[in-house]
Amino acid sequence: MSNRKRTVVFGGSFDPVHIGHISLASEVCRRGLASEVWFMVSPQNPHKQGVALTDEKMRLQMVQLAIEGLQGMRASDFEFGLHRPSYTVNTLAALEQAFPDREFLLLIGADNWDKFGLWYKGDEILARYGIIVYPRGGEECPELPKGVTWLQAELHDVSSTMVRGMVSAGKDIRGLVPDSVAEFIERNELYK
């Protein structure tokens, strides 16, 4: 049994972070699957190259606002200093080197799990790190290899794409994102 602190890496663009993200991270902590969940704000997702993203520092600020006061959660800009695009295997290896007192696990959606065979060095991730998979659309728990955990959690019918579209259309997003994030979006005139 490792005495290293179990730390879940929850990577994403978080453009913007919403209540679904917060709920998943809370569930990981509540179930004792990890001591901490790090929201790893990705400056450039290798699977979304060419997609325009909000400034990375603003996305990080939104995550910081969203998790303020929540136990066991941290907003991380670790990937900002890595080569871009940062592949997950490289991020995990760099984290392991920078934080040898921690055991890193990965939190991904079932949609990403379905495509995991296409991930850069996905077999290496699977061999070296634990993975927690959460359903995205009511999927049943598939047969999973050793080291992969299915997190059956309540899903919120919200996505970052939906939030951006609602802001663009002038609709109220309160209840879909934390109030502090809604205020930040309004104050900075994002997604108009």
Round the average pLDDT of the chain to a whole number and report it: 92
Give the model confidence (pLDDT) of 20-53 as tens digits: 999 999 999 999 999 999 999 999 765 555 568 8
Q: What is the DSSP annotation of 109-131?
A: EHHHHHTGGGSTTHHHHHHHSEE
Residues 182, 66: Cα–Cα separation, whole Å: 10
| Tens digits of residue pLDDT in 151-174 | 988 888 899 999 999 999 999 999
- pTM here is 0.93
